[in-house]
Each structure stands twice: as C-alpha cells, then as structure tokens.
Chain A
Amino acid sequence: MAFDAEAASARRRWVTSRVIIYGLLIVFSLIYILPLVVVILNSFRDLPEINHNGLIAWPQSFSLDYWYQAWDTYCVGGTCAGVKGNFFNSLTMTIPATIISTALGAMNGYILSKWKFRGSDALFACVMLGVFVPGQLSLMPWSWLLGRIHLSNSVYGLILIHCVQGLSFTTLFCRNFYVNIPDDLVKAARIDGAGFWRIFWKIIVPISPPILIVTVIWQFTGIWNEFLFGVIFTTGNQQPITAALVALGAGGLSVHAYNVSSAAVLIGALPPLLVYFLGGKYFVRGLTQGAIK
C-alpha cells in the first residue's frame, strides 16, 4: 500500500510540475505572440472597421488588397510605388554586407585564436570595443570619410559602414568559438607542413557552420533592421525598407492607414523572420558548441 501511495504521489507531483511548466510556457507565449497576431490580423482589416473597433479586435472585415497596396501602390517615401523598391534596396545592401563581415569575422577569429602573437589578446579587446560605439557618435565621422573616398549617397558606402561595424560582432562570435577547437589539432597540422590557408580551409571551415550561421543570422537581422544609417547615407530611391516603415508608422499629419502599414511591417519583417525560422535550430546549436566564453 505504502509503495502505491508513494508512486501515486510521485505521479501527481510529476503531473503538477508538467501543468506548471506548460502553463507558464503558454502564458509567456501568448504575451510574446500577441503583437505579431495583432499586426497580422490588422493587415487584412478595412480601415473604417479598425477605426471603429480598435486595433486589438477580432477582424470583421477581410481583404488581401492591403498587402498589394503596401507592396506596389502605397504612397511612401515620396513616390507611390509601395515598398517593393525599398525591399530590394535592403536586399542589395544586406546580403553583401552580411557575407563580407561574416567571412572577415571567421578569418579574424581564426587568426586571433590559433595564430596568437604578442598583443593579439589586446587587439581582440580593442576590436570588441567596436560593439559598443553608438551610431549617433559615428555618423559625422563616417559622412566625412565617405565623402573623401567618394562613396557618399551610395549603397557601397553603406555596405562598407555595415561591414566595419559588424566586424566587431562577427570577430567576437567566431573567435570565442574557435578558441574551443583544440590547439593540438592546429599544431599537428602545422608540423605536417600545412600553411595558414590550408589549415583554414581544411580544418576550420568544415567545423564552422554552427557559428557561421549564428553570425549570418545576427548580421542579417541587424543590418536589415537598421534605420539611421540606412536613411542618412542613401538618397532618392535608394532608401532601405526601414525608412518606409518609419514613414508608415509615423502617420504624421494625414490619415493613418493601420492596415497598409501592418502589411508593410510584415513584408519588411519577412526576411529576418525567415532567417530566424530556418536557422533557429542552428542558432541554438551553434551557441551550444561554445560560441560564448
């Protein structure tokens, strides 16, 4: 009898703990997902209905038209061509900058962890400081610099800025990851006669995917979502999608089209969300394998 009671109470405790765990997860999930649900629902509702029933209400109208408007016809940023131009501008800027800064970060991390020299730790600390520089501080120096090298108001200038600013993060992530690779592995390769690049391609790169995915996700999201430099260092039709989102969100002194701006927000958030969705599993895995130290 005693045995049964213990088993029963242990089972009860287990069930209770499961209820608590799932309960907490569900409550948190609702809070986290609420904004996304609101935006998604609002992107399908008619404006008079939104104004009448409020922003958080079950939709009583439905139309796909606002997605089309947001993409193709809405007047934002001085023209009435929707956000598609901004979307492609963002792609043009983000993809090269992500690839370059990730590649450089990997190489730098490799050097700073496996080819140590006197002062390499101090150098790493200096590079890491770049993580903390606020954009408002660097705005004017960058303007001056871009002017000197004739890259102002050009997407290449913007790519350069994002690469340099992203280097600090990517080097930080990669170096801390590579530090966990046993030094003996590299030493043995060097004794066997392998040089710098050989070791990089044959040993480092094959085991890098987890951390590379982490850096790609981090950089892509950060650069895609950046507003200030994207707006200041472009002109005319070069503006990235964050500029369009601010234009729609600000509302300013005209009718605030919540539905179209919701659709635009989702269009703008789609690439990073996709990146997180597809890479999320690898994100945690990459971090598991010692991205942090």
Chain B
Amino acid sequence: MKSVVAAGIGLMTLALLSGTASAAPKTNLLSQWDSGSDAAAIAKLGDMFKAAGGDWTSTSIAGHTANTLAKLNADAMAGNPPPAVQLKGPEIAEWNQTGQTANLDDIAAKEGWDKVVAPELLPVMKPAGNWVAVPMNIHRINWTWASSKVMKKLGITDMPKTWAEFNADCDKAVAAGIVCIAHLSQDWTDATTFENVVYGMNLDLDKKAFVQGDVDALKSPDMIKAFDQMRLMVSKYMDPGIAGRDYDTASNMMAQGKALFFIMGDWEVGTLNAAGYKYGMDNDYVCAQSPTDWGKPGFILNSDSVVLFKQADADYAAGGSLLAHLIMSPDFQKIFNQAKGSIPARLDVPVSDAGWNPCQQISQKDLEASIQAGTLVRSMAHNMTVLQKFRGAMMDTITQFVNTPDMTSQAAAQAMSDAVAAQQ
C-alpha cells in the first residue's frame, strides 16, 4: 500500500513539474483529400505529426468540396468546430469573421513566416492582418501539357507561346485527324481552361474581371473575344465526348498520344507520375506555360492551406500549434509537394534536387520571374479571389457556354456579368 501511495505521489509531482508542457498535442484534420496521391501526401503530414509526439486523426471527406464545407458548417453549428480544416481563398476571411479561428501570429513571428511566404499569398493567409491560415503549397494553374509523340508526328518542336501559335498547332492536329485538346467538362475544368485563355489574352482583363470581379470587365469586348477563342477551342479542337469524361481518361488521352494538348494545373504531375509517364520530348509529355499574348512569364496561383479553429480542449489547442509549425517547416513543404506535384509555399525551399519533376522546377523559376515582372495573379477558377457566390456565378456561365453550342460569346459575357451583378 505504501509503495502505491508513493508511486501516486511521484506521478503527481511529475505532472506538476512538467507544468504547461503536459498537454498532449492532438488534432483532427478535416480535408477533402481522401484518395490517391492527395491522401498519400496527407498521410505524410500525419507521420510527421506522430513523430513529433502528437495524436493524429484525419477526417477525409469524399466527393465534392461542398461535402467538406458542409461538414465544417455542421460541426460549427453543433458548437464544436474541427481543430484544423483545409480551407482556402476568401473562405479563410469569411470564417475568420465568425471569430472562431485561431490567431497564429505568435508562431508566425517566432518562425519568420512573413519573410518566406510568397507576397501574393500573404493577404489570403492574413485576411484581417493576423495569421489565420498556413499555406501548404503553391499550385500553378496556367500549364499546358503536350504529348511528345504527337508533337513529333506533327513536326512541332516548341510549345506555342501565343494563342495564335496555339491555334496554328491545333489546326495541324485537326488536319492530321488528331484531337487537339484533351478535355473533360466540369464546372472547375471549364473554368480552369477559360481562365488560362483570359489570362493569356489580356492580363489586365483577368485582373479586373476574375480577381476583382468587376462587372463591366466581365462583359467587355475583350471578354467577348476571350469567349470567341473558347468557342473555337471547344467546337473545333476538342472532341464531342467532353461531358461525362473523367479526369484520368482525359489525362491519358494526352499522355498516350491520342490528343495533343491538355490544359490543366500542376497536380497533373501527380497523375502522370502515378501512371508511370515520363517527362521529355523523347518520352511521353512536356509542359509549358499556357500561351500568353503579352510575352512575359506568367503565373496563376492557387494555394491549399489549413485553418486552425479555436479549441477549448488544451490538447487540441497544442495540436493546432504543432500542426501549424509542421506545415510551415521546410521538411514538410518538400515532402508534401514532391508527392502532390506543386511547389512549396515557402520561397526558400529549393526544388533543384532529383525528387522534383522537371515541370515543378520550371514552375518555381517561373514563379520568381512572374513576381519580378508583376504578372502574378491568383486563380478565380480555384477559389483564390472572389467570394464563392461570385465565383459560382461565373463558373455556371462558363460551363453553360461550353456545353451550349448555340450560345454566343456576347450572350455569355452579358450573362456572366449579370449573374455576378445579381449576387451583389
């Protein structure tokens, strides 16, 4: 009996002595990354969290982003918001306004985040001036992927630099009976392609219409021209089966040489790697910046980030701090982004070693060049600029345009502008 009491006193003393460090970090990350390379990347974060002594749970919600957001909403309504959530863009600001998000300024100051994160991302992560979210990566949206096989067959040696060159290359492909652009029609893929077109044709138009959501820019003559280019691409350079096709089939069309181009963001690297395709003119595919008519390096940016919510439980609060620290660590940024196909959100993590795909290395260089040239923008198609209600209105019109052959560019531009105006 005495020994038991002694042991008990010993334990209590131990607990008292350890003081504030007695909270065992726990977390539960809510995200939509439930399968494939996305899930593998998140699993790596889990490994790091566990290695640091934390108790890791991940809640991965399948299906559309709406499901993840619905769960966040449900948990918040029930009064227990999740400790950590994958959120991005304007949603960070909106949730911050509810007052339920945690303030990360302490850790940010200690680790010097302001100096190493890309400047375009700072207002997104600090919507009200203080750090609320930690960025996990930087995705590039304005990529065009091309099949090496088809390029060789058509005698094309360089990737098109302007939209005129792009159209010329496509005409060659169509003349040879090959589908020029592999595509799958969903709201986000149609918007991604269209955003590439608008950005490439007119940088100012993109900034005004898609970053700021200006209603006049949305129906301007330049926008109508962009819709014209889109109509040309959909009707002549894509095949009729774009609706109902899934992502892998479209990607394979390009990689296997059944189509020339694939306009898609850099997560395509993850898909190509997983399917065993190799980069290079002598292999399967090459990548290049989507055509721009204004001749400078360009970059459309998308960033996945994690928002931490205030937690009553000390363990979850400690877990949140640990998670934020880990996500911003150079180690995680390297491991995660190598798996996902994106580049680190920290500008000081090198991408020059062998674990990185050549397209990722090009992406990093182009990011720096774009920052210098002042051409860096955030992506509307991937929820980094305007509120969801405006973005949804734009995407609805774009996808309707793609799937309605007799909708004119004029009507589309007007409809898009009206739809956004109606939400204001």
Which residues of A are in contact with B by a Cβ distance under 8 Å? Answer: 51, 75-80, 139-140, 142-144, 146-148, 152-153, 228, 231-233, 235-237, 239, 243-244, 246-248, 250-256
Contact = CB atoms under 8 A, between A and B. Distances in A.
B63 A250 contact: yes
A255 B275 contact: yes
Nearest to B67: A231
A8 to B, nearest CB: 54
B77 interface: yes
A143 B39 contact: no
Contacts of B270: 253-254
Interface in B16-39: 28, 30-31, 33-39
Contact of B79 (A142, A147, A251): A147
B332 interface: no
Contact of A139 (B33, B40, B70): B70
A232 B70 contact: yes
B58 A78 contact: yes
B35 A236 contact: no
Given A232-B71, A243-B62, A253-B247, A78 B33 contact: yes
A75 B60 contact: no
B247 A252 contact: yes
B60 A232 contact: no
Contact of B74 (A232, A237, A254): A232
Given A231-B61, A235-B30, 11 more contacts: A75-B35, A77-B62, A143-B78, A235-B59, A247-B63, A251-B36, A251-B246, A253-B36, A253-B267, A253-B268, A253-B271
B13 interface: no
A254 B274 contact: yes
B246 A255 contact: no
Contact of B75 (A148, A153, A236, A253): A153
Contacts of B197: none
B78 A248 contact: no
A256 B79 CA distance: 37
A247 B28 contact: no
10 contacts: A77-B34, A77-B39, A139-B74, A142-B74, A143-B77, A236-B57, A236-B58, A248-B35, A250-B62, A253-B36
B35 A144 contact: no
B42 interface: yes
B122 interface: no
A143 B75 contact: yes
B73 A140 contact: yes
B38 A252 contact: yes
Contacts of B74: 139-140, 142-143, 152, 232-233
Interface of B: 28, 30-31, 33-40, 42-43, 57-63, 67, 70-71, 73-75, 77-80, 82, 246-248, 252, 267-268, 270-271, 274-275
Given A152-B80, A236-B57, A255-B275, A246 B62 contact: yes
Nearest to B35: A247
- Most chain A CB within 10 A, of B39, B74, B77, is at B74
Nearest to A238: B59
A231 B61 CA distance: 7
B323 to A, nearest CB: 15
A147 B39 contact: no
A153 B80 contact: yes
A231 B40 CA distance: 21
A76 B38 CA distance: 10
Contact of B36 (A147, A228, A246, A254): A254
B61 A152 contact: no
> In this complex, which of A78, A243, A246 has the most chain B Cβ atoms within 10 angstroms of its Cβ?
A78
| Residue in A80, A153, A232, A254 whose Cβ sees the most chain B Cβ within 10 Å | A254
A72 B78 CA distance: 33
A245 to B, nearest CB: 8
A55 B22 CA distance: 55
B58 A140 contact: no
Contacts of A146: 78
Given A252-B35, A255-B274, A255-B275, A231 B43 contact: no
Nearest to A248: B35
A104 B271 CA distance: 50
Given A251-B246, A255-B275, A80 B43 contact: yes
A141 B391 CA distance: 27
Contacts of B42: 78
A252 B36 contact: yes
Given A51-B252, A236-B28, A254-B270, A152 B78 contact: yes
Contacts of A80: 43
A246 B33 CA distance: 12
A76 B35 contact: yes
A78 B36 CA distance: 9
A252 B28 CA distance: 22
Contacts of B71: 231-232
A144 B78 CA distance: 5
